[in-house]
Chains A and B, each alone.
Chain A
Amino acid sequence: MSNQEHSEFDANKVFIALIIATAIEVAWGLKMPGPNWWVWGGLITIAFYKGMLIFQYFMHFKFEGWIVKGLILPTPILIMIVVGAIMPDVGFNQRLDYELTDMADPVTGEIHRIGQMDVGEHESGGAPAGEEGEH
């Protein structure tokens, strides 16, 4: 590795941070009352923190030269474009097009509604924060 001398990091510390973050994440996801934006925001934050640790240290991205960083640069930009493209469907979609039991016909692509489904007493809203079943 060309930049081996720069890539020395304490893998044990990163590993312990990942394990602790995972434990917090599981506890956060299962014990917190929800779903709501607060719970979801916490989960996303912890997941991104873990992802960054793996990306920066385990994948050595932090120690890479300009060429690898330049190579990766278009990816977050493209992700932003994808996020921007789906935001109208995610943020402003009041029609709630997708029943849980909708299935696409594999031949024609036509959407079939195959009936109401019992999602049980643990049912949670597809939309966040107490909006379940209101649409």
Chain B
Amino acid sequence: MSSSTHSIAYDPAVDAPKPHHPVYDYDSGPPVDRGKFAIWLFLATEVMFFTGLIGSYVVIRTGAPTWPDPSSRLAVDLTAFNTFVLIVSSYFVVRSLQAIQKGNRGALLKWLGLAILFGSFFVGVQVYEYIHLVHEGSTPNVDLFWSTFYAMTGFHGMHVIVGVIWLICVWIAAARGKYSAENHVRVELAGLYWHFVDLVWVLLFTIVYLF
């Protein structure tokens, strides 16, 4: 009785399903986190996207006999302040990553929260600027200046909104204790995207508002 019971018992060492592929005792993946690999690849495509936008603007602008002085049409001082706000938010993201690398979850939440706040403020100022311009009649169909202005700042603004939503998701996950000194790659990925958005704005601000 006991021997027959023993013969049908499940022994994982013997009866567990065998893998259908070779099992190695080392990680055969690339020597970088897969998420990081993917985000850098994605950012490379984003660079080309904005290169196309800026390239089109340069062709149109240099091909126009006249072009208005941006400072006569746009609130450069307000946008310069907004640029400052975005750079500060980027700095806060750096601090948040440094905090979680040291295992400080409280500081992560604080710095990330500030970054979200400043990022949202940036979006708010841009929405305010758009509303003000549209009320003045400066819509994208007026002329090429406004077409290119709305195209470039609009696409960038959408990226900022995505970035803010992404940072909020990371903040919520951080509040639930999902990140630690050993596991924080998602904070870094969101940060990489956010810094890229900041980098693009640095160039766009110069090209659209100061040239």
In contact, B91 and A11 (Cβ under 8 angstroms) = yes
In contact, A65 and B32 (Cβ under 8 angstroms) = yes
In contact, B203 and A47 (Cβ under 8 angstroms) = yes
Which residue in A29, A58, A99 is a CB contact (below 8 Å) of B206? Answer: A29
Contacts of B206 in A (CB 8 A): 25, 29, 43-44, 46-47
Interface centre among B98, B141, B210 (most CB of A within 10 A): B210
Task: Classify the interface of chain A: helix, strand, loop or mixed.
Answer: helix
Contacts of A130 in B (CB 8 A): none
Q: A53-69: contact bitstring with B at CB < 8 Å (1 yes, 0 no)?
A: 01100111000110110
A91-B192 Cα distance, complex, nearest whole Å: 35
In contact, B65 and A75 (Cβ under 8 angstroms) = no
Task: Classify the interface of chain B: helix, strand, loop or mixed.
Answer: helix
Which residue in A54, A55, A86, A96 is a CB contact (below 8 Å) of B64? Answer: A96
In contact, A30 and B58 (Cβ under 8 angstroms) = no
Contacts of B64 in A (CB 8 A): 96, 98-100, 126
A19-B198 Cα distance, complex, nearest whole Å: 13
Q: B37-80: contact bitstring with A at CB < 8 Å (1 yes, 0 no)?
A: 10011001001100110010011111111111101100011001
Within 8 Å of chain A (Cβ to Cβ): is B132? no
Distance of B55 from chain A, by nearest CB (Å): 5
In contact, B210 and A1 (Cβ under 8 angstroms) = no
In contact, B66 and A125 (Cβ under 8 angstroms) = yes
Closest to A122 in B: B72
In contact, B60 and A98 (Cβ under 8 angstroms) = yes
Known: A47-B203, A119-B67. 15 other contacts (CB 8 A): A29-B76, A47-B202, A58-B93, A67-B32, A89-B63, A95-B63, A98-B59, A100-B67, A119-B68, A122-B71, A124-B66, A126-B62, A132-B66, A133-B65, A135-B65
On B, residues with C-beta under 8 Å from A are: 30-33, 36-37, 40-41, 44, 47-48, 51-52, 55, 58-69, 71-72, 76-77, 80, 83-84, 87-88, 90-91, 93-95, 98, 101, 141, 143-145, 147, 184-185, 188, 191-192, 195-196, 198-199, 202-203, 205-207, 209-211
18 A-B contacts, Cβ less than 8 Å apart? A22-B84, A26-B77, A29-B76, A29-B210, A30-B210, A40-B211, A54-B195, A72-B44, A75-B47, A90-B62, A98-B59, A100-B68, A101-B144, A103-B147, A125-B65, A126-B63, A126-B64, A127-B65
